[in-house]
Chain A
Amino acid sequence: MCLAIPGEVLSTEENLATVDVGGVEQEVRLDTLTENVDPGDYLLVHTGFAIQKLSQEEANETLEIFDELIETNKELEEEGEV
């Protein structure tokens, strides 16, 4: 029930945004969100309301953290083998 799906903001009008959620346009209420929203932003949408503004930057950072973790592990492994 806590499922939330990311979508891209197409346009906004007061407290409503039209959001592209997986190719389907959906009206999303913004009054549960602290930040301002502009077209092009990504939102996490839950039961027709935005709960979080997502950034591609943070998504990339998370992947970088995974890669660093994996890299460190590999280096440690190699050291162990030597």
Chain B
Amino acid sequence: MKFKFKDKERARELVNLIEKEVPDRRVKIVHVCGTHEVSITENGIRSLLPDRIDIREGPGCPVCVTPTKDLDAAVKLAENGVTVTAFGDMLDVPGTEKSLKEVESEGADVRLVYSVSEAIEIAENTDNQVVFHSVGFETTTPMTAAVLSQNPPENFSILPSNKLIPPAMRSLLELPNNDIDGFIAPGHVSTIIGVEPYEPLVESYEVPVVVGGFEPLDVLYALELILKQISEADPRAENGYERGVDYEGNPRSQQLIDAVFRKADSTWRGVGEIPESGLGLKKKYKRWDATERFDVDPEAGEEVLPNCRCPEVITARATPDECDLFGEQCTPDSPYGPCMVGEEAMCNIWYRYGGRPKL
């Protein structure tokens, strides 16, 4: 199944189509997914396309947009003797003073997990308090909701940093001079939420939104659908990833999210507060909220470090190579800003694969 979606001949033909469809001006297309950025950069898709197609990543990496205050809360919990569990990339993100990895090297109990189920297992096998730093978009939230709805151990709780993608897309469209001509909507977020939540964006801003898959042909197909909508002046929410996304999404996962979480205003690192763009626990599940159980200082630290251009990268207004620190004072081994941390962060991906090479 996989290799067919990397087929070179079909890719060449789709590029031909795109070349014909693209208007005679700069076209800025934004995706909001680290996995899309990996596929686009790793496969050199930018270099296949006419220069006037400018593909940018928006706030599509949960690691990059988790606010400092949440990172600091996780660090503080670990320093106070709580076992903190988190996805791998979250261990390296610098908070105000330290990252989880740094407090781990000082003796704190920090565990890397691949699934929230592993955090539950850890809690079942210790008397210590175990906190899972629940980070992620709609794709990842149903898993946290699933374990919370099944009576997790009393010594388990979560630090909720879950966020929603459509409000973040709206916030980009509200920025003055954003120049956005179309969105590739994230495939696996859409597996959960479906296509309908993008329709209000299309109505308000008359911008094409096409759900895209992650293989090279999927990405090219999504681009072709967006350009077609542009040339026909018929913006709409369209599904370009039907094998992975149903129009109505995944109802069971949606029910789990709705049962456990409620919408809340949320701070995105580098973007600021976006109304109703995050999720907090509903009253019934508040007892598993680490911010209620422990004294974690909710005060925000420095969201943006001096000279760091992550805020512009995250909002699709700058590319990584436009930042003076990129590749110099900021590298994957020694990240300065959050966009250099983790394999799905834009600066990190550009550092590894070379951004937009001229072939």
Contacts and interface: CB of A to CB of B under 8 A. Distances in A.
B114 A48 contact: yes
B186 interface: yes
A49 B142 contact: yes
Interface in A7-53: 29, 31-34, 42, 44, 46-49, 51-52
B223 to A, nearest CB: 12
Nearest to A48: B115
A32 B243 contact: no
Interface in B102-129: 114-118
Interface string B302-317: 0000000000000000
A62 B242 contact: yes
A31 B116 CA distance: 13
Contacts of A61: 242-243
B17 A73 contact: yes
Interface residues of B, number: 53
A49 B285 CA distance: 21
A3 B36 CA distance: 9
Contacts of B192: 51
Nearest to B89: A1
B350 interface: no
Contacts of B277: none
9 A-B pairs closest in CB distance = A48-B115, A58-B243, A34-B252, A2-B139, A70-B13, A2-B188, A47-B115, A32-B142, A32-B253
25 contacts: A1-B137, A2-B140, A2-B187, A2-B188, A2-B189, A3-B344, A4-B139, A4-B191, A31-B252, A33-B250, A33-B252, A44-B188, A47-B115, A48-B114, A48-B143, A49-B115, A51-B139, A51-B142, A58-B242, A59-B5, A59-B243, A66-B10, A66-B221, A70-B10, A70-B13
Interface of A: 1-4, 6, 29, 31-34, 42, 44, 46-49, 51-52, 54-56, 58-59, 61-63, 65-67, 69-70, 73
Interface of B: 1-2, 4-5, 10, 13-14, 16-17, 20, 33-35, 61-63, 87, 89, 114-118, 135-137, 139-140, 142-143, 146, 150, 186-189, 191-192, 217, 221, 224, 242-246, 250-253, 256, 342, 344
